Amino acid sequence: MNQEDLVLVTGGTGFIAQHCILALLRDGYRVRTTIRAPEREMEVRTQLATGGMKAGERLSFVVADLTADAGWAEAAAGCSYVLHGASPTPSGAQTREEDWIQPAVEGNLRVLRAARATGVKRVVLTSAFGAICAGHTSMQRPFDETDWSDLSGKVWPYQKSKTLAERAAWDFIAREGGGLELSAINPVAVLGPVLGADYSHSIRMIKSMLTGQASPQVNTCVVDVRDVADLHLRAMTHPAASGQRFIATAGASMWMVDIAKVLRRRLGNVAGQVSLRVLPNWLVRLASLKNPSLKGITPLLGVNLNATSDKARRLLGWTPRPREDAIVAAADSLIKLGLLKPA
């Protein structure tokens, strides 16, 4: 491993991507990242500074969009590795599943073709736990990397898009990857410190709790974004990671009300608005009829989504921080950056 290697991180405005950039820069790598518009470069640099890193000339930018070919050959040129976390962002106007699925699948293939054409050694794909757990109503064991979402079940279009996009990536490698290697990271709910106002859906769960919203009966594993970034870097260079998927979770799953209890216990008066009330399932289903953002939650009500990261720990020596620390770090950063005010 040559730490002067150039690494492409796609989607540089993303929560996980920015923590990957921080980890790479700290390890001595040079980093190139993609953004959809040139004016977002300063936003990325500012958020990296919040994370303690003034990137300077060791970080460069290329404008590229997953829905078009332009820019991807330039982005991948000269790179030893690609960490591909960029994902098409739904506008809210999607009326068909295909509006979600086609951009996700074609985006993955666009990046893989550019990586193959420019001689990249390995791509690490940021997939999702949604490509593993969706559509299953019950499991007698924790989910592991052999599991795939059952698309014949009740699956939210986002989860279906992540499942089909990851499958398309593995099919590409098997059929026409040439010497290109692929690893996939499947994170559960990603918490930990935010760097700015552009953060993950999972962080919104913590924000909602801190501002007094009650918890639906949803079960989830959690992981710190810094540990997700660490796992990406391990999967990038470790010989055993080629051709493998890795679930990123800090431990056993928790009900959302248990996460609320952690906030109350660890943050004291700061968490005074956190509610320990659990919303009845019928009420969440009723509310989802008028609130589209709740539709993705309804198939998960009461479902145990426990998962194991034994594979990453065993093969790659990955040791994530405790799940409570990830929860508290997310809350602390939201408070410190003044992000609890209503959007």
Which residues form the catalytic set? 162
Non-local (6+) Cβ contacts of 117 within 8 A are 73, 76
In sequence order, which residues have a C-beta less than 8 Å from that of residue 104 and are 6 or more positions away?
Answer: 87, 88, 161, 162, 164, 165
Cβ distance 166 to 127 under 8 Å?
A: yes
Q: How far is CA 205 from CA 86, 190, 202, 256, in A?
A: 21, 10, 5, 9
Contacts of 186 (CB under 8 A, 6+ apart): 127, 128, 129, 131, 132, 145, 245, 246, 247, 248
Structure tokens at 184: 């996939």
CB 61 within 8 A of CB 41: yes
φ/ψ of residue 140, rounded to 5:
-85, 0
Question: Which residues sit opposite 22 in a β-bridge?
Answer: none
The candidate with the shortest Cα–Cα distance to 222, out of 310, 288, 332, 321, is 321
Q: Which residues contact 32 (CB under 8 A, 6 or more apart)?
A: 6, 7, 8, 9, 59, 60, 61, 62, 75, 79
Q: How many residues does the chain have?
A: 343
Give 276's contacts (C-beta < 8 A, 6+ positions apart). 215, 257, 260, 261, 264
Identify residue 284 by its one-letter amino acid code.
V
Angle at 152 between CA 151 and CA 158, to 5 degrees: 35
Contact indicator for 326, 250 with CB cutoff of 8 Å: yes
* Residues 129/202, Cβ–Cβ less than 8 Å: no
